[in-house]
């Protein structure tokens, strides 16, 4: 019993001394602590996608609230999206405008890939996440050596062609975005079964049901980053690639490593600037020509 009392005494003494030591710290003495200012997102305003106003009711309000809340606190993802957008949005915006696609569709590319050349679990690839059949239908070259789904200019033009096709079929840009996510056949099936042609009134699978709301949330966050607590200096953004030159290739390159060395660069940098070069060589058929970007040294 005496030994137990001694143990309790020392335990209490340690707890009290530790507490007093902590309380004795001044504000400057305390270790750096990450303090988060977590607040609810203001929903008392108008939201729209591609010029089409989001109708607000209990259902849509809660769906939007979910996507705004989830994406607002994806700090590392949002931070990187903001940085990459400075590099890629100017070119994407230009191509969207040339093809009469609303500018808001640049946020669809963020939702799809974060402007990265990723591969999904369903084998969709590139900035716009084209599946192989859709890529070929839209005129993108996909072989063992070349995958134009990972070419920012060509894949964006293909996305524009596909979105225009979806818009003509489904009658609204919101529906076009939904069809982009789930496929035209899938959306058409839901419309026929439910006798309802408005995305916001359709009961869809979870991914597509969230999809347009997610794009709207990404748009709102990236358009107003400081409102959501994201502060970047100008030099934090990824700038468009500088000091590059474009060379035209009309003959087969049997070895990309040797080609890179001849251009005074490396295979790593060759594929960094030209991610659509997916093989170890580039076979060029008669009458075909490729444009390759290399450092202008």
Question: How does the average pLDDT of the chain come out, rounded?
Answer: 91
Nearest to 179 by CA among 150, 159, 195, 157: 159
Residue 10 has pLDDT above 90, yes or no: no
pLDDT band at 15 (very low <50, low <70, confident <90, very high): low
Q: Which pLDDT score is estimated for 28?
A: 53
pLDDT digits over 68-122, tens only?
Answer: 999 999 999 999 999 999 999 999 999 999 999 999 999 999 999 999 999 999 9
Q: Which pLDDT score is estimated for 25?
A: 47
- The 10 Å Cβ neighbour count of residue 132 is 14
Residue corresponding to tokens 């450092």: 295
Residue 1 has pLDDT above 90, yes or no: no
pLDDT band at 38 (very low <50, low <70, confident <90, very high): confident
Q: Which of 31-45, 169-183, 238-252 has the lowest mean pLDDT?
A: 31-45
Residue corresponding to tokens 């995958």: 147
Q: What is the pTM of this model?
A: 0.86
Residue corresponding to tokens 């390759």: 292
Q: Which pLDDT score is estimated for 33?
A: 60
Two tokens at 135?
Answer: 């890529």
Residue 24 has pLDDT above 60, yes or no: no
pLDDT band at 39 (very low <50, low <70, confident <90, very high): confident
Q: Which pLDDT score is estimated for 142?
A: 97
Q: Which pLDDT score is estimated for 12?
A: 52
Q: Which pLDDT score is estimated for 220?
A: 97
What number is the average pLDDT over the span 246-265? 97
Measured distance between the N- and C-terminal CA atoms of the chain, rounded to whole angstroms: 83
pLDDT band at 34 (very low <50, low <70, confident <90, very high): low
Nearest to 156 by CA among 91, 111, 102: 91
240, 241, 245, 249: CA torsion to nearest 10: -90
Residue 222 has pLDDT above 50, yes or no: yes
Q: Which pLDDT score is estimated for 37?
A: 75
Q: Which of 26-35, 217-226, 269-278 has the lowest mean pLDDT?
A: 26-35
């Amino acid at each position: 019993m005496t030994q137990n009392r001694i143990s309790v005494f020392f335990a209490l003494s340690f707890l009290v001394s530790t507490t007093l030591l902590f309380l004795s710290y001044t504000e400057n003495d305390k270790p750096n602590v990450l303090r988060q200012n977590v607040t609810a997102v203001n929903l008392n305003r108008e939201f729209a996608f591609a010029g089409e106003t989001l109708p607000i009711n209990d259902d849509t309000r809660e769906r939007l609230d979910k996507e705004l809340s989830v994406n607002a606190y994806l700090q590392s993802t949002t931070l990187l999206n903001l940085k990459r957008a400075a590099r890629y949005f100017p070119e994407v915006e230009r191509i969207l405008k040339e093809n009469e696609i609303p500018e808001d569709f640049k946020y669809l590319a963020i939702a799809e890939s974060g402007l990265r050349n990723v591969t999904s679990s369903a084998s969709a690839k590139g900035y716009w996440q084209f599946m192989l059949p859709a890529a070929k239908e839209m005129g993108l070259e996909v072989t063992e050596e070349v995958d134009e789904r990972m070419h920012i200019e060509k894949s964006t033009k293909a996305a524009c062609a596909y979105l225009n096709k979806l818009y003509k079929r489904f009658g609204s840009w919101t529906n076009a975005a939904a069809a982009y996510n789930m496929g035209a056949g899938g959306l058409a099936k839901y419309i026929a079964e439910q006798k309802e042609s408005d995305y916001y009134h359709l009961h869809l699978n979870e991914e597509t049901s969230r999809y347009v709301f997610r794009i709207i949330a990404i748009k709102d966050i990236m358009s107003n980053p400081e409102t959501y607590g994201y502060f970047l200096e100008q030099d934090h953004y990824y700038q468009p690639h500088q000091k590059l030159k474009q060379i035209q290739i009309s003959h087969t390159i049997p070895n990309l490593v040797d080609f890179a060395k001849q251009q005074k660069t490396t295979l790593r940098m060759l594929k960094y600037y030209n991610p659509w070069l997916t093989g170890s060589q580039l076979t060029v058929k008669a009458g075909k020509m490729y444009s390759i970007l290399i450092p202008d040294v």
